Structure 1
Amino acid sequence: MQMNENVHSLLFFAIMLSDGILMTCTVRRVLPVGRGPIRRFAPLALFTIVPTMPSWLGDENPLLMLPFFMLVFFLCYGGPWFARGTVGIVFYELLISLNMFFDTTSRWYEFLWFERLPSMLLKLVLWLVIFLCVRRLLPGGQPVTLSPRLWVLIGVLSLSSLFSMLSFSIWGILDFTTNSFDFVLGRVANTFLPFVFLSSLALLFAIALLSRHEALEIEHKLADMREVYYQSLKREQQQVRTLRHDMRNHLTALSGLLARNDAQKAREYVQSLSQSPALVGVKRFCENETVNAVLASKAGAIEHEGLTADIGVSLPENLPVSDPDLCALFGNALDNAIEAAKTAHDKRITVRARTDKGLLMLRVANAYAGEREQLNKGLFGTTKADKASHGFGLAGMREIAVRHGGTLEANADKNRFELVVCIPLDDAE
């Protein structure tokens, strides 16, 4: 008998821990995890302990657990506060509605461990199914990103289920129940709480689906931006080639002005030509024409901003990466570096790129002033005022790297920013 109880106890604690791990992993698919061991351990402890706490319909326990539940979400997860609040409410409803359903409908049992094992096992199966569905909907492993309006909308919708579920506890209805009414209360739990659970589950899936939809829209926007960037670079290079081709005619016109002793017009003509990039020798950084054109253009911008460029690039003429992707990858990396280094004490920008062992590797390092807000892993918020129209640089580069089977890592520490991109050339589109 003692051995039986020990086995039941071990099984009970194993199910508790499994519940906690599954729920923690599910939330991590939606929200970024905060840094530090405490922020990582607290959600696991919360999701391990709360499912075992008795929660009857009308009991005060759900009300007492709500502040601690939301506190963990606000302190231990990243992202905007309204995103943390919304996700916290959705997962609170999922967890507590299950607890209240099983505990209310089985109040006639004494709550011993071995008598709660069937409901614990069923909860574990449900959380496993939810985790697998969320992982399928969000396969990238990156937390979801929705607009503030969508987060607020989902948050408002979640309040309906929240207050409906807690209304019995708010009014302390168990203090006034009789045996006959207790029977009715159990029937209410059988019909009411499953709808609360399904509504919260629908909101969770809506978050995942809306996130995928916004990700597709961002991908289309980034593709358009890459094409515009690439076409702009092509037009600039075409203007340079055209001006060089017409240089003989310009020199002939200048000679005619000098022959007529029209020094003023000759001076104005020379000044207009001197502002053209065609008269500036384009430095060769590498054999790849697209990357070379981007580096030549950005080197001029770096010099114009009073910065110093340390560029060491060795890339072949042909790469199995499209020209618009190469243009966006190198262009956005250098644009971000220039923008950050302008206000920094250290004005040096370091660029390294090469192909080695089947990999295209790009590293850009620069200093920055102030603080950088890290949104998700490897992504940082824009420092510009119009955040709705900016902040796509790193996201666009990551999309390019991931689409080609590669990786992007960005680190900001001690006012030094470093971007590293690795793309396998064999798998590149």
Structure 2
Amino acid sequence: MGQIIRFFDANGMVFELLITTLMFTWWLERRPGFAARFGLGMAALLVGSGLWRLLVPVNLWTVSAENMLAYVTYTVWIALCWRVNMRQAVFYFVMGGTLQHFVYRGARLASTWLHYFWEDASWIDTYVYALMQIPFFVIGYWCFARPLVCKQTSALAGRSVLMLLFGMLLCISVFTNLFNAMVGSQVGPAAFGIFSAFDLVTCVFVMQLAIEIVINQVARSDGEVMRELLRQQKQQMAASKATIDLINVKTHDLKKQIASLGAAISDDQVRELSGLVDMYDASVRTGNETLDVLMAQKSMECEQQGIRFDRMIDGSLLAFMNPVDLYSLFGNAIDNALEAVARLDAGEDRYISVRVRRDKGMVMIRVENPFAGDLTFEDGLPRTSKDDARYHGFGTRSMRMIAEQYDGTMAISARGGVFRLTVILPLRDADAGR
């Protein structure tokens, strides 16, 4: 038992770093052979720690060098075990290392106060210290690791990561080692408590700063993607309008030519040709030019895929909306519906229903379609089923952003095999969105 306690006492930092690093990395994609990489990395850390203690004398400089070597080894280990680049590996090491120091300092500070009552009780620094780590691990994960779960760090700037690394090294290595070397056992409980509390707060500030940097970087990156999507949709709207106008002209000419054939073809042939032309007749009248273009385009897509496209739309109610916002809102909603309905078997009821009507002084927009499978929701929006979640899921987010831009709300439900997207907007004057 004594040997086990001495082993964990000598290598406590290695195991603490393991736990805190896993708190930040458990959700990341793993590299092939993860178990072997993980085990070899931990073995290297433990063997290196043991050899260092046997061969290298303990002083300020050797302790600092040992810490730096462990930090480099941990960073490389993270990069080898998970699919992250070196900049991300440094970031996750910084977070794991700072949280480890937070746990160590918090547990040590809490257990030290017990020496006021039991001055010579060695069990405090062994058993009580280990038990006091548990609540600090829980607090650390809940406050600092959980906010970063599924937050992409690929957009982190190298300068931000270096700044965090520098602050972390000063906090948990340089100043701590200097304090221990220069003051050591001569410091009283009050001075030790003040330094420990300051050290603890510094760790909190470093981790909170890192969280804010990640959130801001992700928001800026998402904003750039959103702007690019809106730019593409604006171009698509212009191209769709030109295409629909051309189709309308050609179908009108074809109808005139069919009528001019007269007795040259039979009535059955006339009906067949007229039916084919009507399929591409893109004349849709909703009372809103933007919706006319979009509905004509989506109507043809549904016709080609054998999907029933039901629509009852009073487009005049949406005259206050910017055409690009209108195209983006309905375009994303119908595209999502098309994608879901396309997965259904041919024998199932394949339809998309679009309704726009006035309801109690508000405009209610509803897009409804059947779907197969199960949907999971996050923050009120369905989680994407696509592999690259980083660059998908912007459609529903942009729709909610547009609804909120016009002081409205968006709600999504998926029950009984039917997906319903509902947007409610307050009525405005037509000039309000111009």
Length-normalised TM-score, structure 1:
0.55
Q: 1:189 to 1:239 in 2, by over 3 A?
A: same
* Per-residue CA distance 1:206-235 (angstroms, 9 max, x = gap): 123213312321331232133023112211
In the alignment, which residue of structure 1 is the partner of 2:154? 149
In the alignment, which residue of structure 1 is the partner of 2:379? 376
Q: Distance in 1 between matches of 2:165 and 2:415?
A: 39
Q: Distance in 1 between matches of 2:110 and 2:317?
A: 71
Q: 1:249 to 1:151 in 2, by over 3 A?
A: same
* 1:395 and 2:397 are equivalent in the alignment: yes
Amino acid at match of 1:323: P
Q: Distance in 1 between matches of 2:427 and 2:284?
A: 26
| Aligned residues of 1:374 and 1:381 also touching (Cα < 8 A) | no
More helix by share: 2
Q: Distance in 1 between matches of 2:96 and 2:367?
A: 40
| Aligned residues of 1:372 and 1:412 also touching (Cα < 8 A) | yes
Please report how far the alpha carbon of residue 103 of structure 1 lies from its aligned counterpart in structure 2 after TM superposition.
Answer: 7.1
In the alignment, which residue of structure 2 is the partner of 1:308? 308
Amino acid at match of 1:353: V
Amino acid at match of 1:211: V
Q: 1:276 to 1:161 in 2, by over 3 A?
A: farther
Q: 1:100 aligns with which of 105, 108, 114?
A: 105
Query: Residue 282 of structure 1: SS of its match in structure 2?
Result: coil
* 1:219 and 2:220 are equivalent in the alignment: no
Amino acid at match of 1:104: L
* 1:280 and 2:281 are equivalent in the alignment: yes
Query: Residue 216 of structure 1: SS of its match in structure 2?
Result: helix
Q: Distance in 2 between matches of 1:274 and 1:300?
A: 14
Q: 1:216 to 1:318 in 2, by over 3 A?
A: closer
Q: 1:144 to 1:65 in 2, by over 3 A?
A: closer
Q: 1:165 to 1:146 in 2, by over 3 A?
A: same
Length-normalised TM-score, structure 2:
0.54
Query: Residue 339 of structure 1: SS of its match in structure 2?
Result: helix
Query: Residue 304 of structure 1: SS of its match in structure 2?
Result: helix
| Aligned residues of 1:408 and 1:419 also touching (Cα < 8 A) | yes
Q: 1:354 aligns with which of 327, 352, 357?
A: 357
Q: Which segment drifts farther, 302-311 or 394-403? A: 302-311
Amino acid at match of 1:370: G
RMSD: 5.6
Query: Residue 196 of structure 2: SS of its match in structure 1?
Result: helix
In the alignment, which residue of structure 2 is the partner of 1:339? 339
Q: Distance in 2 between matches of 1:414 and 1:111?
A: 64
Q: Distance in 1 between matches of 2:281 and 2:252?
A: 14
Identity, % of aligned pairs?
Answer: 21
| Aligned residues of 2:153 and 2:218 also touching (Cα < 8 A) | no
In the alignment, which residue of structure 1 is the partner of 2:244? 237
Gaps in structure 2 of 5+ consecutive residues: 1-9, 28-82, 118-138, 175-179
Please report how far the alpha carbon of residue 357 of structure 1 lies from its aligned counterpart in structure 2 after TM superposition.
Answer: 3.3
Q: Distance in 2 between matches of 1:336 and 1:362?
A: 15
Q: 1:109 to 1:358 in 2, by over 3 A?
A: same
Q: Which segment drifts farther, 101-110 or 294-303? A: 101-110
* Per-residue CA distance 1:241-293 (angstroms, 9 max, x = gap): 443675699679x97xx9xx9x9xxx9xx99x997779626354x32232233
Structure ID, larger Rg: 2
Please report how far the alpha carbon of residue 332 of structure 1 lies from its aligned counterpart in structure 2 after TM superposition.
Answer: 1.6
Please report how far the alpha carbon of residue 320 of structure 1 lies from its aligned counterpart in structure 2 after TM superposition.
Answer: 0.5
